Amino acid sequence: MNNILEKINRVWDKKLTRREFINKCLKAGLLFGAASSLFDIFSRYKAYAAIGEKRGLHEALYYEKIGDEAVKCLLCPNQCVLSDGQRGFCRVREPVKGKLYTLVYELVCAQHVDPIEKKPLFHVLPGSTSYSIATSGCNSRCKYCQNWTISQKPPEETFNERLTCESLVRAAAANGCDSISYTYTDPIVFYEYVLAASKAARNAGILNVAVTGGKINPEPLRELCGFIDAAHIDFKGFNDRFLNEVCAQRLDTITETIKIMKNAGVWIELVNLIVPTLNDDMGDLRKMVKWIRSNVGPDVPLHFSRFWPQYKLRSLYPTPVETLKQARDIALEEGINYVYIGNVPELEEENTICPSCKKAVIKRAGYSVRENNLEKGKCRFCGQVIPGIWEKPGRKII
C-alpha cells in the first residue's frame, strides 16, 4: 500500500477527475483487487488534493528527522515515528520526503456559536458567546467520546471547510463573540492552526479558549500558553489503568499540563466526567481533589459532569445524580471553593457560590445565566473577590 501511495503522491498536485485518476492508476499498474480498494485510494487522493490545492500542505511544528525520510513527532507523548505514507496516532499528521505535515491546517469540520457555559467555563465572561471550531482527529481514544464522528476520523472522512485564521477572527467578531474556542476534538492535534489563529485573535482583542484533554509535551504547551487565555482541561480520572484502557492517556501527562498552564497564567477550569463502574471510585476522586488543592490551589473551578451512554460505552447507565453530589461534597470537604455539577439541568449545584457569605453570585439554568451578582469581579453582597476573567477584552477593528 505504501508503494501505491508513493505513486499517487507524484500526481497529487494535479487536479484530476475520477476518470482521469483511474486512468492514471491503470497506466501506473495500480488497478488491483476489488473496486472498493481503488475507491479507498481515490478518496485518500481527493483529500490530499483538496488540502494541497486549497491550503498547501502545512509543515508541522515540533518534530525531528530520523534518517532521510522518517520523522519523529514531538508534539505529544505518543511521539509517533513515521515514514512516508504513515499517519500518526492522531490521524492528521503524515510525513512526505522527510518532512512532517499537518493535514488539517485551516480545515475545519465543525464551527458553531456556543454559550461559554457550554465549554463548560463558568468563570469566564458569563453569558457571553464563543466562536467554536474543530478539525478532525484526536490523540486520545476515549471510549465515551460524544464527538467521536469527527474526533476518531481522519480528514478524508469528515466534511471540511476552509477557514483561514483571518476569516475565523472576522467570523467571531461578526457574531459578537468575545472568544474563540478550539474544541469538540482536541486542539492539540490542530496545534499549528490554533497557534496561528490565537495570535490573530489576540491582536484583534478576542480571547482564546482551549478545550483539551491535556495530552501534549511541555515545550509546545508553553509556547501555546503565550496566546491562550483560558482552558477547560479534562481531568478524566486519577487512575492510570482507567486512563490507559479507556482514554489512551496517562496521569502524569495530565497533571503536568495542568501545572504548566496554571503557572503560565492561563485561567483553567477542570472537568471530571464520572463514568459509572470505571472512574467513580470515591477514594480515587478524593486523591484527585487533594492533588488539585495542593498543586493548583482551592480557587480552580472543578466540574463533575454526568456521563451519558456514548460511542463504545453505550451499555453503561448514566451517572446517578447522587454520585455526582457525593463527589462534589468530597471536593468541598477538601477545600475546593468552586465545585459544580454538569450535564444535569436545573440543579443548584451549577450556581457560583461565594465562599465567604455563601450567597449565589451567579445563578444558572443550563447554559443560561439567570442572575449575575458580580461587581468588578467581587461578590455584590460581601465584597469577596471571585477569581476568573470577568472583563471583556478591548475589541479592535478588523
User: Are 7 and 76 in a shared domain?
Assistant: no
User: Are 318 and 265 in a shared domain?
Assistant: yes
Q: Domain holding 258: CATH number?
A: 3.20.20.70
Contact 123, 231 (CB under 8 A): no
User: Are 177 and 304 in a shared domain?
Assistant: yes
In a domain, 355, yes or no: no
User: Are 78 and 59 in a shared domain?
Assistant: yes
User: Are 118 and 45 in a shared domain?
Assistant: no
Listed in sequence order, the residues at least 6 apart from 84 whose beta carbon sits closer than 8 Å to its beta carbon are 2, 5, 6, 9, 69, 95, 96, 97
Contact 144, 275 (CB under 8 A): yes
In a domain, 347, yes or no: no
User: Are 143 and 168 in a shared domain?
Assistant: yes
Query: pTM for the full model?
Result: 0.86
Provide the pLDDT for residue 15: 47
User: Are 193 and 323 in a shared domain?
Assistant: yes
What is the DSSP code string of 206-259?
A: -EEEEEE-----HHHHHHHHTT--EEEEE---S-HHHIIIIIS--HHHHHHHHH
Provide the pLDDT for residue 336: 98
User: Are 217 and 297 in a shared domain?
Assistant: yes
In a domain, 392, yes or no: no
In a domain, 372, yes or no: no
User: Are 148 and 210 in a shared domain?
Assistant: yes
User: Are 218 and 73 in a shared domain?
Assistant: no
> Model confidence at 24, in pLDDT bands (50, 70, 90)?
low
Average pLDDT score over residue span 327-354: 96
In a domain, 350, yes or no: no
What is the DSSP code string of 52-117?
A: HHHT-PEEPSSEEEETTTEEEE-SSTT--EE-TTPPPTTSSEEEETTEEEES-TTEESEEEEEEGG
pLDDT at residue 223 tops 50: yes
> Model confidence at 33, in pLDDT bands (50, 70, 90)?
very low
Contact 179, 124 (CB under 8 A): yes
User: Are 125 and 66 in a shared domain?
Assistant: no
Average pLDDT score over residue span 255-263: 98
How many domains is the chain partitioned into structurally?
Answer: 3
In a domain, 356, yes or no: no
In a domain, 283, yes or no: yes
User: Are 132 and 184 in a shared domain?
Assistant: yes
The range of the structural domain enclosing residue 153 comes to 108-342
In a domain, 390, yes or no: no
